[in-house]
Each structure stands twice: as structure tokens, then as C-alpha cells.
């Protein structure tokens, strides 16, 4: 690529600020052009100004009025699901591409190691949620070996790492993540739970994945999961298995009953229960290392945007 691709970020909170710093420090493809907020006193906007990044506290209207907007090719949205609907309409109408870090799910769900090459021509791609980015690769890893009938994830993040946008989107988080467990992970039914942990000192992001799947070779499932972890680590080095993958065989003599599967007609489950325990340590680009939820979300978004930029300028994937 002969030049870097100018980008803007809407949202000057935890996620937007972390993404800005990550792009400026790490990306050889993207050029940070504008950080957009609505509070002129926000730490994100002040930090951007100190780093030489153009800013506006007038929201999307302020962005579109700036001279820099003409050259911007990709816009990240790190605000809220409700705000993203308006942002998407305006940005797409202006001929720009969008990478959505909210749970709005207007564009197709995108998880880099699972379907990262699939949606590069979409005008708006959705990065699901931080919990989805951490756990859906694992559901997919199990499903490519043995059909996952039910996938359940629990994402626990430090309360201090959850800004007002995240807190306002708890319902959207569970709904979007649950749907993506099915649509991207491949599970017949999905369920997601998020926990904002108020512990002091703040605890590192932890994710638990439960998959109820068909009988298959357990070693093959384990190898598939470990291979997927290694793929995620290429862009999120702090992503790791907390302990060995756990297996439990559930036989017909004591089937597991799952009320959530009633609508599929399969309320009694036999097969293998796979339990995976993950830890995500952040790179501490903005908040401390406990905020792995920021790191996995912004890293996935940046990686996706870099591939989109390569597609725009070269007609091929990065």
C-alpha cells in the first residue's frame, strides 16, 4: 500500500481512546485523522489533542463539517448501539466505510480468525462485542470438529473498564453476542452473560465458554481450540487459556436438560460438554492491563479495518 488510509473514530470514551492509541502506535496501514466526541472535557479528546490528532466535540455533525472528513475512508463507531443507527446512515450516505464497535449489528458480524475475510466488501461491518470476540472463536473451533448444539459464554470484565456506552448497551450485548454465537460460531443455540466485576484491585478479563456438542475425538477438539487460541494471539498477545480444556461425557442414562433448546425440539442432550476458561490481558495502551476487553475489541477492529483498507486500495485482502 503506497499510503496510509485516513480514519476517524466516533466516540472518545475508553474504547475509542484505546483504539486511537493502538492505531497510532501499531498500524502500518491506518492513519489516525480525527477523534470525535460530545464532551470537550473528555480525557480522550484532550489526549488526542496532545497527540496531534484533530478533534471535534460536536459529534458526527462536527466530523462531517471538518475539512479532514473529505479524505477519511473508514470511520470507526465506538459509541452506543442507539447512536450507531444515525451514524451509519450519515457515514454510508457520504460514501465512507464503517467498522462498528457497538452491539448495533447493522452490518454483518465479523470475528477476524473465523470470518475475517468474508465481509471485506460490506459497507458496514459489526465487531459483535468484546465477549463475542473472545469466545466465539472457541465455539467455532469446537464446531468445526463436532456439531455444537448449545453454546454459552460468560464474560467477566472489570467494572472500571466499562464506560457509559458499554453500560448502556448491556441488553444489546447479550442479544448480539447470543446471535453471533449461532451465526458465526455455528451453534444451534447461543446464550451470553456479561458480568461487570467491581472488585478492587480490578480483575483481568475472564471468559468461560461451555459447548454441548456431538460425540467426537476429544484430542481433536482440544487441538482445534489450541490452534484457534494461537490465531487470536497473533493480534491479541494477552489472549490465553487459563487452564486445560475440560471434557465431560453426558450419556443417555443421565441426559442434560436444557430449557433454552425447547424451541429446537431438543431438550435432552447427550454427547460432550466442553468447558474452556480464558483470560485476556490488555496491552495497556489506555487503561491498565486488566482491561483486556478493550484490547480484544480494538485489536479486532483495527485488524479488520486494515484488511478493508487493503481491499479498497489493492483489490485484494491483506
Q: Could you tell me if 147 and 227 lie in one domain?
A: yes
- Asked whether the beta carbons of 161 and 293 are under 8 A apart, the reply is yes
The domain of 48 spans 5-128+295-314
Q: What is the mean pLDDT of the chain?
A: 95
pLDDT tens readout for residues 162-177: 988 899 999 999 999 9
How far apart are the two ends of the chain, measured CA to CA in Å? Answer: 10
Average pLDDT (8-31) is 97
Rama region for 284: left / alpha / beta (φ>0; ψ in -120 to 50; rest): left
| pLDDT at residue 298, rounded to an integer | 98
Q: Could you tell me if 138 and 258 lie in one domain?
A: yes
130 given a catalytic annotation: yes
Tally the residues of the chain. Answer: 318
Q: Could you tell me if 11 and 83 lie in one domain?
A: yes
Q: Could you tell me if 124 and 160 lie in one domain?
A: no
Q: How many domains does the chain divide into?
A: 2
- Kindly report the CATH number assigned to the domain that includes residue 224: 3.30.360.10
CA distances from 165 to 25, 39, 79, 195 (A): 25, 14, 6, 15
Q: What is the spatial distance between Cα 125 and Cα 305, in angstroms, rounded to a whole number?
A: 9
Please report how the helices 292-314 and 14-26 are oriented relative to each other, as an axis angle in degrees rounded to 10. Answer: 50
Q: Could you tell me if 275 and 309 lie in one domain?
A: no
Q: Could you tell me if 95 and 161 lie in one domain?
A: no
- With a CB cutoff of 8 Å and minimum separation 6, the contacts of 225 are 138, 141, 142, 241, 245, 274, 276
Q: Could you tell me if 122 and 146 lie in one domain?
A: no
Average pLDDT (141-150) is 97
Nearest one of 197, 192, 160, 177 to 289, comparing CA atoms: 160
Element (H, E) at 15: helix 14-26
Q: Could you tell me if 304 and 253 lie in one domain?
A: no
Q: Could you tell me if 158 and 247 lie in one domain?
A: yes
Q: Which of 130, 211, 213, 223 is catalytic?
A: 130
Which 3 state secondary structure label does DSSP give 122?
coil
Q: Could you tell me if 201 and 145 lie in one domain?
A: yes
The DSSP code for 223 is H
Q: Could you tell me if 283 and 303 lie in one domain?
A: no
Q: Could you tell me if 258 and 269 lie in one domain?
A: yes
Q: Which residues of 152-171 are buried (b: 16+ CB within 10 A; e: fewer)?
A: bbbbbbbebbbbebbebbee
pLDDT bin (cut points 50, 70, 90) of residue 315 is low
Q: Is pLDDT above 60 for 38?
A: yes
- With a CB cutoff of 8 Å and minimum separation 6, the contacts of 284 are 291
- Kindly report the CATH number assigned to the domain that includes residue 302: 3.40.50.720
Q: Is pLDDT above 50 for 40?
A: yes
| pLDDT at residue 67, rounded to an integer | 98
| pLDDT at residue 184, rounded to an integer | 98
Amino acid at each position: 500500500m503506497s499510503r496510509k488510509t485516513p480514519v476517524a473514530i466516533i466516540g472518545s470514551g475508553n474504547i475509542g481512546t484505546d483504539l486511537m492509541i493502538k492505531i497510532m502506535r501499531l498500524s502500518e496501514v491506518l492513519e489516525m485523522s480525527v477523534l470525535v466526541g460530545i464532551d470537550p472535557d473528555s480525557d480522550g479528546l484532550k489526549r488526542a489533542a496532545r497527540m496531534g490528532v484533530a478533534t471535534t466535540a460536536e459529534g458526527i455533525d462536527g466530523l462531517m463539517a471538518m475539512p479532514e472528513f473529505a479524505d477519511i475512508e473508514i470511520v470507526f463507531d465506538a459509541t452506543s448501539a442507539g447512536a450507531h443507527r444515525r451514524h451509519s446512515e450519515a457515514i454510508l450516505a457520504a460514501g465512507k466505510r464503517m467498522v462498528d464497535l457497538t452491539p448495533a449489528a447493522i452490518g454483518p458480524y465479523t470475528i477476524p480468525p473465523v470470518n475475517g475475510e468474508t465481509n471485506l466488501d460490506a459497507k458496514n461491518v459489526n465487531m459483535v462485542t468484546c465477549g463475542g470476540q473472545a469466545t466465539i472463536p472457541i465455539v467455532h473451533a469446537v464446531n468445526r470438529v463436532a456439531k455444537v448444539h448449545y453454546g454459552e459464554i460468560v464474560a467477566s470484565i472489570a467494572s472500571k473498564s466499562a464506560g457509559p456506552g458499554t453500560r448502556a448497551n448491556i441488553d444489546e450485548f447479550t442479544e448480539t453476542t447470543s446471535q453471533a454465537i449461532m451465526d458465526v460460531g455455528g451453534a444451534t443455540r447461543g446464550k451470553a452473560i456479561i458480568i461487570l466485576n467491581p472488585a478492587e484491585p480490578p480483575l483481568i478479563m475472564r471468559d468461560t465458554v461451555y459447548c454441548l456438542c456431538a460425540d467426537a475425538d476429544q484430542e481433536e477438539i482440544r487441538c482445534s481450540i489450541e490452534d484457534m487460541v494461537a490465531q487470536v494471539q497473533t493480534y491479541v498477545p494477552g489472549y490465553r487459556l487459563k487452564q486445560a480444556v475440560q471434557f465431560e461425557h453426558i450419556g443417555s442414562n443421565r441426559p442434560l436438560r436444557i430449557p433454552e433448546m425447547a424451541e429446537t425440539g431438543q431438550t435432552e442432550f447427550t454427547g460432550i460438554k466442553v468447558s474452556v476458561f480464558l483470560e485476556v490481558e490488555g496491552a495497556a495502551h489506555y487503561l491498565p492491563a486488566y482491561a483486556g476487553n478493550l484490547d480484544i475489541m480494538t485489536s479486532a477492529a483495527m485488524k479488520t479495518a486494515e484488511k478493508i483498507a487493503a481491499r479498497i486500495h489493492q483489490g485484494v485482502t491483506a
